[in-house]
Amino acid sequence: MCLAVPGKILSLNDCDGTLMSVVDFGGIKKEVCLEYIPDAQVGQYVVVHVGFALQRLDEESAIRTLAEFEHLGVLEEEFTDGFELAARKAGLDNPNEARS
Amino acid sequence: MKYLDEFSDPGLARKLVDQIKAATSKRWSIMEVCGGQTHSIIRHGIDQLLPDIEMIHGPGCPVCVTPLEIIDKALEIASRPQVIFCSFGDMLRVPGSEKDLFRVKSEGGDVRVVYSPLDALTIARDNPHRQVVFFGIGFETTAPANAMTVYQAKRLGIDNFSLLVSHVLVPPAVAAIMESPTCRVQAFLAAGHVCTVMGTDEYPPLCEKYRVPIVVTGFEPLDILEGIRRTVLQLESGRYELENAYSRAVQAAGNVAARAMLLDVFAVTDRAWRGIGMIPRSGWRLSHNYRDYDAEYRFSVADMRTEESSICLSGKVLQGLIKPHECPAFGTLCTPRNPIGATMVSSEGACAAYYLYRRLEVSHV
Amino acid sequence: MSETPPNGRATIDMQTWVCPVPLRDTPNVVMGHGGGGAMSAELIEHLFLPAFGPAADTGMGDSAVIDIGAVRLAFSTDSFVVKPLVFPGGSIGDLAVNGTINDLAMAGARPLVLSTAFILEEGTPLFELSRVAQAVGTAALSAGVKLVTGDTKVVDAGHGDGVYINTAGIGLVDERADIRPQRATIGDVIIVSGDIGVHGVAVMSCREGLQFDTTVASDTAPLHGLVAAMLDTGTDIHVLRDPTRGGVAAALNEIAKASKIGISLDEQRLPIPAEVRDACGLLGLDPLQVANEGKLVAFTPAEEADRVLAALRAHPLGARAAVIGHCVAEHPGMVTARTALGGTRVVDLPIGEQLPRIC
């Protein structure tokens, strides 16, 4: 279900009492109904499914998520016991634990 | 496309795959609910990258699970000379008991593909002397669009428009799958865009009752991998909680305005899922307020009844009990070219996805 | 066909994969039969050829090569039924001329003459017809081809979508050329002459029920000059195909089956413009299955690929040419692609018409 795609609101207009907008999907522009996000503003990103905006895209959250992916594994390497990490990756018990 | 392309980055995908492998100590079986997720997994070869994770393709394709009866009702209505029958493209090749919408078109029916239900409403306004019917299928993601369309039709008095509704709901399906005695599913990737609409509050009780992790997951490769990663971490540590791995598009409360509209326009009903059977209170039909716009009543097809094919094992596939190529009809009687069940039609259907993308692997056996 | 050996895993015989009775599902012609994919192929193989009987030359490709004494002629026909008649970047008139010119060019022929047969729907405004006819004349002139004969018929209103055009063309096959879909060889490099998916997106953007605004304009163009430039490098080109309906996916699948080799693509090397990708993303389409009208795919021996690529890129119609894959011994008859993530996907022959999806 659910081919829903993010796009940027370019303009708002009223069509027979229905809140509509033109949304830009990277160059492709399409008419989208904004009735479910009535306080949406021009310039904001929304997630669109079959001609309806279903949610505002949380840009901060998107950036944060990507940053988390970038740092995956990095923090672990900085703060974990190096032996434990290497042992886990090799599928062995932590040699340090075995010794102590 | 912004906010899409970044979530396909191959370098970051590699990192996520490594993280998942590092965390995995045994084989796990995870069901992704949504057909769009199945499509993404197979199209990018994600399951090939994670040999210790078995991805079970769930019944999350509305094309696949739309009851056979509704398809037959759609075909009956579309055949009537007065009618302009509008539908999403997905539904055109879904086989009914005897034919599909393409065949009805070839026999003279006016069948039109639209991108949005609002396009059907426009067609209704442009053709005041014809009856225009929109085929309102889908999960909770698509329901708000269909609801708003019929709401506008009523408000603007576009009386030659009606809606043939067959919505299905995810949480009852998850419960039905877990209740099955042969269930192998240990965790779920919940359908991201369903939760965009409905929020996440229906899922913690399911986590509790069935002791399964449920992670709300998006559709791009990084989203799917992140959903799997968080799921594996839960499974490895014995946790079973609801997590949201698609926070850029999903809030806990969902879309409040949409949920309010859905309450007004639709009413919960029992629904027979094609290939699975009756799941109580698992669907939506038009509410009493909108009965005048209900195509089932307008065209007097409400009492049609249908029998399902006994050859088609799509139900077992949809519940993750068998893999598509274990069905005797797979690739022989039933191919994407000549589908018996809906799972072979939709590009997300588990059988069609398997047919297209797994031929390589299976042929090497 | 499909057996389950004792260990429980089904094996599938690649050769007999397709349903054995492909026409049994419908007694009528359906839209899918015109899609350029599996259904079209089956209609030809299971209805037309048997019906034509011994008169049919089983070669029946896009273009026929006929030997007349010392001369080799190419002969091709194509019909154009596009809706709407006019779209960003061109009209049915341009397609009608360039389409048949390209079928001839794909056989390595220089196009000489075209016929044009019009089937007109009663009630079509004459100014619209005039616009289409002018497009035909302009396209023929700039391609250096003469319009030598034609025909006009009219059908009742409600029976024709305005204007249908059939063109047939004759060309002179270059003596250096031996270009046939059966000649693809293991190790051959596959080159596409430029951006893919452009024409299909341009047409879809103005179809009722799907309209969207885009700057994408059809890539309709005659390719015989480009082919001549390739032949001038002295390369022995094995296969040429213009990927029209069904897109690059259909073209490569047909060639893989005709030559009985496998094809392996590299997804990251496919030249897909951002707007085509976005439109396909919005509608749920695969750019590999979207029609092109001014592009070709070429199969060349590996050692010649660089030369051919340079010749393409030096030509205005081939500036964005790229190597997209090669022919392999594995999975004969099938086309696969390596995904950006390092996985493998199958690129299948589209079944019927391409339709937007919600799921």
- Nearest residue to B328 (alpha-carbon basis) of C93, C308, C209, C1: C1
Report which of residues A99 and C200 the model is more confident about. Answer: C200
Could you give all domains of chain B from N- to C-terminal order, each with its CATH number?
1-357 (3.40.50.11740)
Query: What DSSP element (H or E) covers B316?
Result: helix B314-318
The identity of residue C232, as a single letter, is D
Burial C65-79 (b: 16+ CB within 10 A, else e): beeeeeebbbbbbbe
Identity of the highest mean pLDDT range in C35-39, C46-50, C208-212, C251-255? C251-255
What is the model's pLDDT at position A2?
73
- pLDDT score of A89: 52
Cβ distance of B89 and C355 shorter than 8 Å: yes
Closest chain B residue to the Cα of C343, Cα to Cα: B45
On chain A, the residues whose CB falls within 8 A of the CB of B191 are 1-2
Residue B348 has pLDDT above 70, yes or no: no
What average pLDDT score do residues C51-58 get? 83
Contacts of residue A22 in chain C, CB cutoff 8 Å? 213
Q: Which amino acid is at C91?
A: S
In the stretch 283-322 of chain C, residues with CB closer than 8 A to chain A read 284
C204 contacts chain B (CB < 8 A): no
When computed from its CA atoms, the radius of gyration of chain A, rounded to whole angstroms, is: 23
Give B331→chain A minimum CA distance, Å: 25
Q: What is the pTM of this model?
A: 0.82
Question: Helix H segments across B132-242?
Answer: 143-156, 170-179, 192-198, 204-210, 221-237
Distances (CA, A) of C96 to C76, C91, C135, C159, C165: 12, 9, 9, 20, 7
Higher pLDDT among residues C24 and C194, named by residue: C194
What are the tens digits of pLDDT across the range B281-306? 999 999 999 999 999 999 988 887 77
**Residue C18 has what pLDDT?**
32
Least confident of B135-144, B281-290, B313-322, C67-76: B313-322
Alpha-helix residue ranges (DSSP H) falling in chain C? 38-43, 49-52, 92-105, 126-143, 198-204, 224-231, 247-259, 274-283, 305-313
Of C22, C345, C357, Cβ closest to residue B89: C357
Subunits next to C (3 or more Cβ pairs <8 Å) are A, B
Cβ of B36 within 8 Å of Cβ of A49? The answer is: no
* Residue percentage of chain B with pLDDT more than 70: 90
Per CB-CB distance under 8 Å, the chain C contacts of A26 are 274-275, 278
pLDDT value at position A90? 57
Pairwise CB contact (< 8 Å): A27 & C359: no
d(CA C294, CA C310): 18
- Nearest-CA distance B206 → chain A (Å): 21
Q: How confident is the model at residue C106 (pLDDT cuts 50, 70, 90)?
A: very high
Question: Going from the N-terminus, what domains does chain A have, and what CATH number goes with each?
Answer: 4-57 (2.30.30.140), 60-91 (no CATH)
- Give the C-alpha separation, C7 to C292, whole Å: 46
Q: How far is A33 from chain C (nearest CA, A)?
A: 14
pLDDT of residue A85: 54
Give the chain B residue whose CA is nearest to the CA of A85.
B22
The pLDDT value recorded for residue B156 is 95
- Name chain C contacts of B337, Cβ cutoff 8 Å: 18-19, 22, 38-39, 42, 351
Confidence tier at B89 by pLDDT (50, 70, 90): confident
Determine the pLDDT at residue C12: 29
Report pLDDT for C254: 92
C202 to chain A: nearest residue by CA? A28
CA of A22 vs chain C CAs: smallest distance (Å): 10
Cβ contacts of A14 on chain B, cutoff 8 Å = none
Chains within contact range of chain A (3+ C-beta pairs < 8 Å):
B, C
C344 touches chain B (CB under 8 A): yes
Confidence of residue C148 (pLDDT cuts 50, 70, 90): very high
CB contact under 8 A, C209 and B105: no
Q: Select the more confidently predicted residue: A26 or B239.
A: B239
User: What's the pLDDT at B237?
Assistant: 97
Lowest-pLDDT range of B35-49, B259-273, C78-92, C343-357? C343-357
Q: What CATH number is given for C63-173 in this structure?
A: 3.30.1330.10
Predicted confidence at residue C9, as pLDDT, reads: 30
Mean pLDDT confidence for B150-176:
95
The residue that leads in pLDDT, A44 or C85, is A44
> How far is the alpha carbon of B192 from chain C, nearest alpha carbon, in Å?
12
- Chain B positions touching C357 (Cβ under 8 A) are 88-90, 346-347
Q: What is the pLDDT of residue C293?
A: 95
Q: Compare CB distances from C25 to B331, B338, B360 and report the shortest one's residue.
A: B338
Contact A36 B144 (CB under 8 A): yes
Write out pLDDT tens, residues B24-73: 999 999 999 888 898 888 888 898 899 899 998 888 777 778 888 899 99
Residues 57-96 of C with CB under 8 A from B: none
- pLDDT over 80 at B320, yes or no: no
Residue A77, pLDDT score: 52
pLDDT at C209: 65
CA-CA-CA-CA torsion for B13, B16, B22, B26, nearest 10 degrees? -90
User: Residue C359 and residue B112: Cβ atoms within 8 Å?
Assistant: no
**Percent of the residues in chain B that have a pLDDT greater than 90, as a whole number:** 60
Cβ burial of B247 (10 Å; 0-12, 13-18, 19+) is middle
The pLDDT-based confidence of C214 (bands split at 50, 70, 90) is confident
Predicted pLDDT at A35: 96
In this structure, the number of other CB atoms found within 10 A of the CB of residue C29 comes to: 12
Render pLDDT for B179-194 as a digit per residue (tens, 0 to 9): 887 788 999 999 999 9
pLDDT of residue B347: 60
User: Residue C142 is encoded by which pair of tokens?
Assistant: 């700039």
**pLDDT exceeds 90 at position C300:** yes
Question: Which ranges constitute the DSSP H helices of C106-222?
Answer: 126-143, 198-204
- Per-residue pLDDT at C72: 94
- CA B362 to centroid of chain Cα atoms: 26
ipTM value, please give it: 0.88
pLDDT of residue A86: 58
pLDDT-derived band at C103 (thresholds 50, 70, 90) equals very high
Mean pLDDT of chain B: 88
Computed over every residue of chain C, the mean pLDDT equals: 87
Residues C308, C300 contacting (CB under 8 angstroms): yes
Query: Residue range B330-351: average pLDDT?
Result: 69
Q: Which residue, among A28, A46, A69, would best test binding to C if mutated, counting the most C CBs under 10 Å from its CB? A: A28
Q: What are the tens digits of pLDDT across the range B112-143?
A: 999 999 999 999 999 999 999 999 999 999 99
Q: Which pLDDT band, with edges at 50, 70 and 90, does B274 fall under?
A: confident
Residue C11, chain B, CB below 8 Å: the answer is yes
User: Residue B45: which of C8, C274, C343 has the nearest Cβ?
Assistant: C343
Chain C: give the shortest CA distance to residue A48, in Å.
9
Q: Are the beta carbons of A49 and B115 closer than 8 angstroms?
A: no
Residue of chain A with shortest Cα separation from B145: A52
Render pLDDT for A27-55 as a digit per residue (tens, 0 to 9).
788 999 999 999 999 999 999 999 999 99
B263 contact partners, CB below 8 Å, separation of at least 6: none
Start-to-end Cα distance in chain A: 53
What's the rounded Cα separation, in Å, for the pair B171 and B178? Answer: 11
Yes or no, beta carbons of B6 and A66 under 8 Å apart: yes
Q: What is the domain partition of chain C in residue ranges?
A: 63-173, 181-346
Contact C72, C172 (CB under 8 A): yes
d(CA B175, CA B6): 34
Task: Pick one of 3.30.950.10, 3.90.650.10, 1.10.1240.10, 3.10.100.10 as the CATH number of C181-346.
Answer: 3.90.650.10
Give the pLDDT band of residue B359 (cuts 50, 70, 90): low
For the ranges B307-321, C21-35, C38-52, the lowest mean pLDDT is seen at C21-35
Residue C213 contacts A, CB cutoff 8 Å: yes
3-state secondary structure string, A24-55?
EECCEEEEEECCCCCCCCCCCEEEEECCEEEE
pLDDT (average), residues C1-29? 40
Question: Which residues in chain A are contacts of B6 at CB distance < 8 A?
Answer: 62, 66
> Can you tell me the mean pLDDT for B328-343?
72
**What is the model's pLDDT at position B87?**
94
